[in-house]
Chains A and B, each alone.
Chain A
Amino acid sequence: MFDLSTSLLAGFTAPLDIGTNPLSMLWMFPLLISIAVVYKTTRLRVLFLKPLAVEVLILFLTLSGFMILAGIVLNLIVWLAAG
């Protein structure tokens, strides 16, 4: 138990190893979930778990779709400008 908590706390003193490959873009998805949860929680008047989960999922998918689309468009612009 002590080892686990010590290693967990030690994790906050050194950065994780994140490369510069396309897979590192996956780190945006937890952030999009946070945005969707907080925004929908502040918007909904009365909270029931199922409607909240549905609303959060729809917003998360919408945000993810637009982020992926933005990534494709930006890559396309770079590809056209470079080539």
Chain B
Amino acid sequence: MKPRSPIDHTLWLFLVGIGAWAVPGAGHFMIGQRKHALILFVTIALTFLAGLYIGSIGIVDPVGAKPWYLAQLLVSPVVGLIGQIAQNGHYPVYGRPADYAQIYTALAGLLNLLCILNAVYRAYTGIGEKIGQEEEENV
């Protein structure tokens, strides 16, 4: 459903942005692009989880690695919770696995930032709903 008034439209854009941040791909899902949403969710979630698996959840470090943490936080607010768990758990982090893990998880966050901006842009221009309808018709 496309909002009509400018205030509704602004609120809608805000909700799409928040949704896209909360769950990768959710912004595209909200504007009706289900295929986009599924592919984005699976890819970003796998990239982030691969990073955690490579370097342990200790690489989400809100104190010792703040710049990396800020990029990781772009994946989802859930990363903040993982950061709290990691702070209390004293999980080992070292060497080459830590480097790779930080790159994987931070890049997952930056890719989600791209998705957030893309979803908001598509919602702003209104092409999201149109593409979603076309995709539904072609299924």
What residues make up the interface of A, taking CB atoms closer than 8 Å to B?
A: 11-20, 24, 27, 30-31, 34-35, 37-39, 41-42, 45-48, 52
Residues of A within 8 A of B100 (CB): 18, 24, 27
In this complex, the interface size class of chain B, counting residues with CB under 8 Å from chain A, is 35 or more
Does the CB pair B39–A16 fall under 8 Å? Answer: no
**A39 and B114 contact, CB distance less than 8 A:** yes
Q: Does B76 interact with chain A (Cβ within 8 Å)?
A: no
Q: Which residues of A contact B107 (CB under 8 A)?
A: 31, 34-35
Q: How far is the CB of A36 from chain B (nearest CB, A)?
A: 9
Cross-chain contact B39 with A20 (CB below 8 angstroms): no
Query: Within the assembled complex, what's the spacing in Å between the Cα atoms of A17 and B39?
Result: 30
Please tell me which one of the listed residues A17, A18, A41, A45 contacts residue B131 in the complex, with CB atoms under 8 A apart: A45
Q: B4 contacts the other chain (Cβ, under 8 Å)? A: no
Q: In this complex, what residue of B is CB-closest to A42?
A: B118
Contact status B55-A15, CB under 8 Å: yes
Q: Mark B119-135, 1 if CB is under 8 A from A, else 0.
A: 00000000100010011
